[in-house]
Structure 1
């Protein structure tokens, strides 16, 4: 019993600061994704706790990071809208979870090999483009829309594509300088 306690607390001095950093990054991300999904804030907190603690513990991996996925925000919002309520959406998630557990017990994980990698890469690329597009108005200090969304500047099917350049006509110099300095710090930080 004592050897289990020793191994569990052996790296505690390194795990605590690492866990704190992950918590400080994941908490606002969980809240933001729940807001973008049209779900209650509390659901974002609960999913962050489950993803960070429960799944991390059950995975058995020494090195694992799990948490909110921004790409699911659009999917969750569409599902809640189409199903009609958040409670029914939770029921659908529960059923999907049960199906995943049954498929894992039946060792059906190999089905994933039949999905082309180009489909997965295309989905991740589109998520990245959407995230970048949503940040452009914030990067120049343009806050016309309540959500600050570049994709909301032009309505679907509209011919007014010049509105995409509207944030560039309202650049706030201080905000733009902070944005450029932050990007440069991220680029320099990654160099050895």
Structure 2
């Protein structure tokens, strides 16, 4: 009779000890620093345009919680081939920014690559953009979240604009409080 409570006690001690070991093995997250960190370019994928060309989409991750970085177009901020300036940002807000710019490539781009290179604080990173099918985006479908871009008109009965890369060019004039 006394053997059963002893077995239960030993089993309980083993379970508690296991939980303690598992908890001790968890590494805490590194604290987010306000400044002094690097920036990582991020290739987000590609989508097909109505004319048969493709848009390669990039964003970035500025690891700083507060520091905003400026990296001018040139050797430290370039897109190749076709660069160094291909519409990439020079102003990097803090944390993760998605869909910051796209590079349009021709319909026959196939297995080629476009590379975005950022060099900052001694850290150089080159991220290739490509048309691998695993990286295909549905720019207007919304994916699992079901979000779709709104339809925007810049004049009352003007053409509809929806999705990335579909805004009118040229200066637009607007007045606050006037539809």
After TM superposition, the score normalised by the length of structure 1 is 0.18
Structure whose residues are more often strand by fraction: 2
Q: Which has the larger radius of gyration?
A: 2
Structure whose residues are more often helix by fraction: 1
